[in-house]
Amino acid sequence: MTTTAESELLTRVGPDTPMGEMFREYWMPAMLSSELKKDGDPVRLKLLGEQLIAFRDSSGRIGVMDHRCPHRCASLFYARNEENGIRCIYHGWKYDVDGNCLDQPNLPAHQVHTDKIKAKAYKAAERNGVIWVYMGKRAKAPPMPMFEATLMPESEVRIGVVQRECNYLQALEGDIDTSHFAFLHAGALDWKELMPGSTWYYSMKDRAPDYSCEVTDWGTMYGAHRPAETGTTYWRVAHFLFPFWTIPPDGDFSTHVVARAWVPLDDTHCMFFIWSWLGATPKARLLKTGEPIPGVNFGQQGLLPNTTDWLGRYRLGSNSTNDYQIDRAAQRSGKNFSGLHNITLEDQCMTESMGGIVDHSLEHLAPSDAMIGVTRRRLLLAVRDYRDKGVVPPGVDNPNAFLGARGGDFVAPAELDFNGAYWREMRLSQNPTGRLMAAE
């Protein structure tokens, strides 16, 4: 059971909270490169409870800073982005991407003190179509993390972003809870109608798998396992990676190059980034007849137009205000277990329906939630070590550790235990970046 004190420690991410301070030790994806144009409009950006603005200057450099001008605290969202700096329209004070004050035109020359003024600015970097931000206190930022999918050129991956109106932790935990798949996403399927040996055949034949969970250098991982054909075991493997990343299990392990980041905007909102390799081998999702499985949609519902407010980006059109457009007739018919017509939407509905921050005191975790328990313990240990002992969090200074993680499903010889099956599959997998760790 997660106590109230532990829940507070796990879920609160604002300034001066232990988890928020630990998260600030990591580089975080914050927005798509395409959202910022040279000398274009500043964009409101919320991260870890802080209200920021982001802009791209005349030279293409990225600025991310507190939205309040250090002079009189007017918002720099309304500032002019011009000539390699952002100029507050209140009194004309201007700042570069590092927060240095460049100009104080409302002061006579003998009173100018630009060297004594600095806006609160954070380090920013771009990699393969995504802007990353480092909000920590180090004068020299740590190396950027090495998640396999994020190392690929923008032309080789599909990048998606969706905002979720709930705490990062409950959103993240949806990705490491494999037992819901056979109900929420595929509850209407009958395994007898599926192509024997196809990706969902074993999951639907046995909806209550056993679990193996491991603590890893990068976080935690699980393997849900079921008997497959004689002498073999079907595995579904997924990961939690510090500080708020997941690799889900739904895909052919050998080519399933995917990364998901559950970036906390504040305590009750997060932004879900996903990278997916375009070269992955699609799984055959077929009925015995050879036809595609009906009623299963991996695409996302349409997004609302972005607005300029703090939480105005990447919101689903189907949301709590319209009950996620649930189709009760389809639900009653038995052809659609959830009544929702999209896997992303199904997850969104369930995690948001728990409330902004789920009340963990009301939970009754079961053996099927083993990965959730292990992951919470891993996070709690790391944040306490960081808060109480100053221990550098996992992966901050050794970003290559993340290259030991790959998720997906596969069939392996039954005599292999979880570690044996996992590393065997790693050695057999495609390695498009050349960086994947292929042995223990």
Q: What is the 3-class SS of 229-256, one letter each residue?
A: CCCEEEEEEEEEECCCEEECCCCEHHHC
Are 223 and 212 in contact, with CB atoms under 8 Å apart? yes
Tokens of 404: 């030991």
Q: Where are the domain boundaries for CATH 3.90.380 in the chain?
A: 148-428
Residue 196: per-residue pLDDT = 79
Taken in order 298, 260, 120, 81, the sign of the CA dihedral is: negative
CATH topology for 148-428 is Naphthalene 1,2-dioxygenase Alpha Subunit; Chain A, domain 1 (3.90.380)
User: Which homologous superfamily does the CATH classification assign to the domain defined by 27-134?
Assistant: Rieske [2Fe-2S] iron-sulphur domain (2.102.10.10)
Give the CA diameter of the chain: 86
The values of phi and psi at residue 427, to 5°, are -70, -25
Q: Which residue has the tokens 């990965």?
A: 371
What pLDDT score was predicted for residue 179? 85
d(CA 206, CA 414): 16
Give the DSSP letter of residue 428.
Answer: H
| Range(s) within the chain of domains with CATH label 2.102.10.10 | 27-134
DSSP summary character for residue 362: G
Predicted pLDDT at 285: 67
Q: What is the pLDDT of residue 439?
A: 53
324 CB burial (10 A radius; 0-12, 13-18, 19+) = buried
- Digit-coded pLDDT (tens) for 4-23: 999 999 999 999 999 999 99
pLDDT on residue 301: 62
Low pLDDT (below 70) residues in the chain: 284-286, 292-301, 439-440
Sign of CA pseudo-dihedral 316, 318, 323, 326: negative
Task: Please give the Cα distance from 35 to 124 (Å, whole number).
Answer: 14
pTM for the full predicted model: 0.95
C-alpha to C-alpha distance for 225 and 329, rounded to whole angstroms: 34
